[in-house]
Amino acid sequence: MADFLVIQDLIDRVGSRKVIGYFDDNNNGTLSDESTAIDVVLSAAEAELYARLMRAYPGDPSTPGGAMQLLIANDPALKIHVVGVALQYAAERRPEFTDAEGVGPYKAQWDRAMTYFDLLSKGQQRSRGEAAAGAGANSGGMLQPKPPAATAGQFTFARSRNSPTGHGGF
């Protein structure tokens, strides 16, 4: 079951007719019988978010009041991106909504969402939700916690392409 995304979020974004079209597998014009398919799509979209932000905002993402949930609750842009991912997955369920390569109509939104998630996880993008959730572990471009002191001072020469056992090239 999805943690925060609900079918109404998709309907608010593109309208009920499109969402019903993506999930109406028995062609009765309703969403009532498609709850499993809906939950799979919504959960998969949330999983994309969690997978990309887990290192920056550690802990159980479904914990109420946890860093990830606070970030999502206080960043409307983040939720819009997750909705875009869910719409792409929903459209890809039905072959009539995909192109010859099997790509759905929301590929641009999916690409934007993945870029946003990756930049946020690396600390290269700031989120409005960080006021409540706290800064991510990678904010400022620095991974925290720092590596142990025993490995911090080691330096290893890289092998040269021309001499695999060799001189390291600078």
Would you state the pLDDT for residue 87? 94
Tens place of pLDDT per residue across the chain (170 aa): 778 899 999 999 999 999 998 988 888 887 766 688 899 999 999 999 988 888 877 777 777 777 788 888 888 888 999 999 999 999 998 888 888 887 888 999 999 999 999 888 887 777 777 766 677 666 654 444 555 555 555 555 556 666 656 565 55
- Cα→Cα distances 162→124, 166, 170, Å: 35, 8, 13
Would you state the pLDDT for residue 101? 81
In a domain, 111, yes or no: yes
In a domain, 82, yes or no: yes
In a domain, 92, yes or no: yes
In a domain, 46, yes or no: yes
Q: How far apart are CA 84 and CA 27, in angstroms?
A: 24
Q: What is the DSSP string of 53-67?
A: HTTTS-S-TTSTTSH
Would you state the pLDDT for residue 164? 59
- Cα→Cα distances 170→55, 72, 80, 152, 161, Å: 33, 45, 46, 21, 12
Q: How far apart are CA 159 and CA 165, in angstroms?
A: 6
**Residue ranges making up the domain that contains 70:** 7-141
In a domain, 84, yes or no: yes
Please, how many CA atoms are within 13 Å of residue 163, restricted to the half-sphere of its CB? 8
| Length in residues, the chain | 170
Q: Rounded to 5, what percent of the chain is helix, strand, coil?
A: 50, 0, 50
In a domain, 135, yes or no: yes
Q: What is the DSSP string of 152-169?
A: HT---PPPPSS-TTS---
Would you state the pLDDT for residue 121? 83
- Cα→Cα distances 107→47, 84, 114, 118, 168, Å: 17, 9, 10, 16, 43
Would you state the pLDDT for residue 55? 80
In a domain, 168, yes or no: no
Number of domains forming the structure of the chain: 1
Q: How far apart are CA 157 and CA 58, in angstroms?
A: 33
Q: How far apart are the first and last CA of the chain?
A: 53
In a domain, 11, yes or no: yes
